[in-house]
Amino acid sequence: MTLTLRTDVCATDTDDGMVLLDEANGRYWQLNTTAALILRTLLGGATPQQTAHRLGDRYPQLTAERRDQDVDALVRSLLDARLVVRA
């Protein structure tokens, strides 16, 4: 499964991560640096498993279970908020 942003959602990098703006309703979400890394990797075409592996490269202190949980939680949140769609 790969993800893409909905066409009416724009992403902007910040010093602390990323901001997503849903232009359809004016709501925005702020992602920290870890969540931004996860989202950028997923938007780049990586699977959640590949993304969790990349997260481990960046943060080796995280267990594999924790990396998988973090990626899955963010994907669920983004889908629930209707910010992304499955490609």
57-72: per-residue pLDDT in tens?
A: 999 999 999 999 999 9
CA distance 75 to 21: 17
Q: What is the average per-residue pLDDT within 38-67?
A: 96
The token pair that represents 33 in the structure block: 């640096």
Full-prediction pTM beyond 0.75?
yes
Q: What is the pLDDT of residue 47?
A: 94
Neighbours of 85 (CB within 10 A): 13
pLDDT at residue 2 greater than cutoff 90: no
